[in-house]
Amino acid sequence: MPNVLDILKERGLFDNVTSENVQQALNSPVTVYAGFDPTSDSLQVGNFVTIMALCHFQRCGHKVIAVVGGATGMIGDPSGKTSERSLLSIEQIGVNQEGIKENLSRFLDFKHPKAPARIVNNHDWLGQFSFIGFLRDVGKHFRMGAMLGKESVRTRLDSESGMSFTEFSYQMLQAYDFLKLYDDLGCTFQIGGSDQWGNITAGTDLIRKLRAVEAYGVTLPLVCDSTGQKFGKSAGNAIYLDHKKTSYYDFYQFFVRTADADVVRFLKIFTFLPLDEIRQLEEMVVKEPEKREAQKRLAQEITKTVHGENGLKVALGASAVLFGEEMDELHAEDLISIFANVPSVELPISRIVNLPAIDVAVAAGLCKSKGEARRLVESGGLYINNKRIDGIQVVIKPSDIVDNRVVVLRSGKKTYLLLKIT
């Protein structure tokens, strides 16, 4: 099995290490962890960089731990932030924790015969401390000079908003996580984004001071696209791993829209495709960019990884809808997402069900008059849910209303109207 550090480097998943001994240490099985604070009830595709790195560690025979920050999430990590996070309620953090556990359970192998993954919650140990107890047992091992020297701290101290003591303490909490995982589970590695360098080195220093052993950190690059936009943002909206927050279709389309300048890099980072195959796709980007084969393959691979075969099937089906194919397996949310940018209208169900399709087309505003609607049907150009209406006597049936919420009307090949039921 190759050294996982070599894999991270060749796939663009490497930023820095805390020690020159990391490569040698990874020649034998180790235990590695990454933390995920529950700031939302779903992770975003930006988190997928860390998830992919954990997967590579596990594939190389190392044990992996995902720490859900039930305690640190109550504080808020200042790393990479220009202002203090809004503190979440304990109830919301609980909801968010469950969402993140569900997300992570899709990617990590908990039944691996030699290196099963684990998910733990740092509130289980940090929640046991009193304030005085934490200061006595943990805080006394930190020196102000080193804490103030962390880049994440210096940046915030120099900013207009400054930094609260709450956020300043965050690095101590994360450092103790590392120590606790070393003591209980033999964890000697931590991975995280490059903005986590200060927090990671706080942990390696604490373990060295208290246990006289070397622990290691590996940081991953913060991925941006070729325009400098932080990865995972689309028109200001995060792309989530939960399909209830970002539909299968929108998730798939986010990657289909990847720029030629980014697609090869993203294929290396976000898929397990062999590098030889990625090189072939790179050649297609150069020779036949209009076919967007690399983008389609990227979207297919990551959608299948995140949402499974069914999620990919729905995404592909949703994409096909725009080219006139039937939509039998799609749900209302999928259709609302697909047709978010087309005209829509609301009508009560009494003006839709068991009424002629031509009347509904007029009531919805797809056609200006009954005569126009009749001519549209006679020319074969009126569609309900992409199924052609073959006679003026055809009525809208209850089964035509998707999830009792929406009906898709279409005139000709490309004029759509989304009919929402009130």
pLDDT digit string, tens, across residues 152-180: 788 888 887 888 888 899 999 999 999 99
Helix axis angle, 293-321 to 260-270, nearest 10°: 90
Q: Is the pLDDT of residue 259 over 70?
A: yes
Would you say 32 and 65 are in contact if contact means Cβ atoms under 8 Å apart?
yes
Task: Look at residue 337 in the predicted model and tell me its pLDDT.
Answer: 79
Would you say 64 and 57 are in contact if contact means Cβ atoms under 8 Å apart?
yes
CA gap 420, 406 in Å, rounded:
5
Place of tokens 């820095």: 16
Range with the poorest average pLDDT among 77-86, 363-372, 391-400? 77-86
Per-residue pLDDT tens digits for 313-340: 888 887 888 777 777 778 888 888 788 7
Q: Is the pLDDT of residue 4 over 70?
A: yes
- Alpha carbon 111 to its chain centroid, in Å, reads 23
Mean pLDDT of the chain: 91
Percent of all residues in the chain with a pLDDT value above 90, rounded to a whole number? 66
Range with the poorest average pLDDT among 6-10, 99-103, 145-149, 272-276? 145-149
Q: Is the pLDDT of residue 83 over 80?
A: no
Would you say 66 and 104 are in contact if contact means Cβ atoms under 8 Å apart?
yes
Beta-bridge partners for 63: 31
Mean pLDDT value of segment 367-377: 93
Query: What's the 3-state SS for the chain?
Result: CCCHHHHHHHCCCCCEECCCCHHHHCCCCCEEEEEECCCCCCCEHHHHHHHHHHHHHHHCCCEEEEEECCCHHHCCCCCCCCCCCCCCCHHHHHHHHHHHHHHHHCCCCCCCCCCCCEEEECHHHHCCCCHHHHHHHCHHHCCHHHHHHCHHHHHHHCCCCCCCHHHHCHHHHHHHHHHHHHHHHCCCEEEEEHHHHHHHHHHHHHHHHHHCCCCEEEEECCCECCCCCECCEECCEECECCCCCCCHHHHHHHHHCCCHHHHHHHHHHHCCCCHHHHHHHHHHHHHCHHHCHHHHHHHHHHHHHHHHHHHHHHHHHHHHHCCCCCCCCCCHHHHHHHCCCCCEEEECHHHCCCCEHHHHHHHHCCCCCHHHHHHHHHCCCEEECCEECCCCCCECCHHHCECCCEEEEEECCCEEEEEEEC
Neighbours of 68 (CB within 10 A): 25
- Nearest CA-CA partner of 34 in 142, 119, 127, 113: 119
In which band, very low, low, confident or very high, does the pLDDT at 29 lie, cut at 50, 70 and 90? very high
Task: Look at residue 277 in the predicted model and tell me its pLDDT.
Answer: 97
Task: Look at residue 66 in the predicted model and tell me its pLDDT.
Answer: 96
In which band, very low, low, confident or very high, does the pLDDT at 84 lie, cut at 50, 70 and 90? low
Tokens of 164: 């609260």
pTM for the full model? 0.83
In which band, very low, low, confident or very high, does the pLDDT at 422 lie, cut at 50, 70 and 90? confident
Q: Is the pLDDT of residue 13 over 90?
A: yes
**End-to-end alpha-carbon separation of the chain, Å?**
59
Helix axis angle, 275-287 to 260-270, nearest 10°: 170
Range with the poorest average pLDDT among 32-36, 316-320, 363-367? 316-320
- Which residue type occupies 136? R
Range with the poorest average pLDDT among 27-36, 119-128, 198-207, 217-226? 217-226
Domains of the chain: 4-220 (3.40.50.620), 233-321 (1.10.240.10), 337-421 (3.10.290.10)
